[in-house]
Amino acid sequence: SLASTAAIDEFLGCLSADIPSRLIQTPATPSSYSALLLSTARNLRYILPDTSKPLGIIAATEHAHVQTTVRCGRRHGVRVRVRSGGHDYEGLSYASVHLHKHNEPFAVLDLATLRAIHVDPARAEAWVESGATLGELYYAVGAASRSLGFPAGSCPTVGIGGHLSGGGFGSLARKYGLSADNVLDALVVDADGRLMNRSSMGEDLFWAIRGGGGESFGVVLSWKVRLVPVPETVTVFSIVRSRNQSAIELITKWQEMAPVSPQELYLRVLVLNQQANFQALFLGRCGDLRRLMQDRFPELGMTEQNCREVSWVQSTVFFGFSATSIPLVQLLNRSSNPRYYLKVKSDHVQEPIPRDVWESIWTAWLEKPEAALLMLDPYGGLMSSISPSETPFPHRQGNLYQLQYYSFWYENGTAVAEKRMSWVRGLHKEMEPYVSKNPRAVYVNYRDLDLGTNELDGDVTSYEKARVSWGDKYFKGNFKRLAAVKTMVDPHDFFRNEQSIPPLPAAK
């Protein structure tokens, strides 16, 4: 149902009873409103003038502000979008293509200030609030201990809140799984504004928030995570090969070796500007890595000169900025990465793609000026031994690697955007025969609205439409259980967006 102007005023009035007015920005004060809106909006495609904007942004500084916002939103029919790091590929934490369609106003609940981190090195645990970034967590863990790490993604400005809600894949995944596999407890505000921890929320909701995707179940304020043992010295390398340095043969071979390597080795490939960059993290010393590479992948020609022996936290700088020489404090820079226009699609590869296919992709697609960055991220190791129903993230055994078509550009204008997006969509279409099928599976943190967006069935999101368009692809056999949890915790479907989990259809 539509919130009228009167309802919006009532909503804002309701907030102001508990939340200081300096923490609430509305378009009535354009400069502070847009500074806050843009503060972490990462994808320029979703801050164009014709994007629907929030009617207000609440910069919560206390847990009670979150509870108040949810309660006021419920009472006055204003939907709330939660934002932690703002890195959603489709801008779902701060923009809406869909609510716009239904002309539904929404507010943004910004958690960036709620970013406390408490590391307990003796217990190898930490509590981290959702507004913290991955870089801030890495820095805090590194400052507390040289022999502890945390498995999560490579970009330091990604927010904890969205990342852990959707899974969290990175350089320690083959050894320790996803971030979500290492969550021990959480504090959540539900659709009634109640604050709950693991024991009060129960195991079903606790299961759903560890990979079921952001927004659908409530607002996660804080996470208790398990820190994992890492050697005091680890090794990284980056080896770049062009086509006439056998890049295509090396990628072909990589597919057979990286997913079955020892768990201590994470070797990914980035293909950009017609060069393949092989980047490694090895949980051990250079000499052992060189022997391993000599044994498993001699064609790459890795030598001890390629090695950098560093602490684990310094390795996160290497993956974040593609250089080890950058000082650790850069991990704390919340705006360290430039913003760009972004469109990403992704796949799971289950059989090695033949060399001649790579040849023709390289010639027909990668040599075009509008080519995207391709990212090949290996699975295997522990990822293969975790059951697909252990968490909502179902992409476990049987997957060799993730393939991302990651297009980013800086130039404004629809012509450029269309060229870039049709490149991504075109290659994605062409890859269909070589990637996972029935469903063509996608990782929910690589949000892609091309898969389809929700429709309403009465007052709530249609289960069937969601299942067919994106539900099976993100969650396979776990989708129905996610919908059952949704029915239990948010039957009125307050927390929703273009691809939020629907409640189960009411029995007819």
Tokens standing for 229? 């043992």
Q: Does 219 bind ligand FDA (CB under 6 A)?
A: yes
Residues in 487-506 at the binding interface with ligand FDA, rule: CB under 6 A: 497
Please state the closest distance from residue 173 (CB atom) to ligand FDA, in A. Answer: 9
Q: Does 215 bind ligand FDA (CB under 6 A)?
A: yes
142 vs 170 by CB, closer to ligand FDA: 170
Q: Does 214 bind ligand FDA (CB under 6 A)?
A: yes
> Cα separation of 301 and 305, whole Å?
11
119 vs 220 by CB, closer to ligand FDA: 220
248 vs 417 by CB, closer to ligand FDA: 417
Q: Judged by CB under 6 A, which of 56, 135, 151, 162 binds ligand FDA?
A: 162
Q: Does 151 bind ligand FDA (CB under 6 A)?
A: no
Strands 275-282 and 125-129: unpaired
Query: Cis bond leading into 439, ω under 30°?
Result: yes
> Cα separation of 269 and 253, whole Å?
12
The stretch near ligand FDA (CB under 6 A) out of 87-95, 143-151, 449-457, 460-468 is 87-95
Please state the closest distance from residue 91 (CB atom) to ligand FDA, in A. Answer: 7
Please state the closest distance from residue 105 (CB atom) to ligand FDA, in A. Answer: 16
Strand ranges, E, within 324-423: 341-349, 373-378, 401-409
Q: Does 483 bind ligand FDA (CB under 6 A)?
A: no
Q: Judged by CB under 6 A, which of 161, 211, 380, 503 binds ligand FDA?
A: 161
Please state the closest distance from residue 456 (CB atom) to ligand FDA, in A. Answer: 18
88 vs 347 by CB, closer to ligand FDA: 88
Of 304, 301, 299, 247, which Cα lies nearest the Cα of 276? 247
The SS3 assignment for 58 reads strand
* Residue nearest ligand FDA, Cβ-based: 214
> Cα separation of 43 and 341, whole Å?
5
Of 502, 445, 438, which Cα lies nearest the Cα of 472? 438
165 vs 315 by CB, closer to ligand FDA: 165
> Cα separation of 255 and 260, whole Å?
9
Q: Does 84 bind ligand FDA (CB under 6 A)?
A: yes
Q: Does 417 bind ligand FDA (CB under 6 A)?
A: no
> Cα separation of 187 and 223, whole Å?
7
> Cα separation of 305 and 410, whole Å?
35
Q: Does 105 bind ligand FDA (CB under 6 A)?
A: no
Of 500, 488, 491, 480, which Cα lies nearest the Cα of 213? 500
Taking only Cα atoms into account, the Rg of the chain, rounded to an integer number of angstroms, comes to 22
Q: Does 445 bind ligand FDA (CB under 6 A)?
A: yes
Asked if 478 contacts 443 with a C-beta cutoff of 8 angstroms, the reply is no
Q: Does 421 bind ligand FDA (CB under 6 A)?
A: no
> Cα separation of 211 and 209, whole Å?
6
Q: Judged by CB under 6 A, which of 82, 208, 236, 271 binds ligand FDA?
A: 82
Please state the closest distance from residue 154 (CB atom) to ligand FDA, in A. Answer: 4
Q: Does 168 bind ligand FDA (CB under 6 A)?
A: yes
Tokens standing for 406? 């990651």
Strand ranges, E, within 19-103: 24-25, 56-59, 79-83
Q: Does 259 bind ligand FDA (CB under 6 A)?
A: no
Interface residue list for ligand FDA (CB under 6 A): 42, 81-89, 92-93, 111, 130, 153-155, 158-159, 161-163, 165-170, 214-215, 219-220, 445, 497
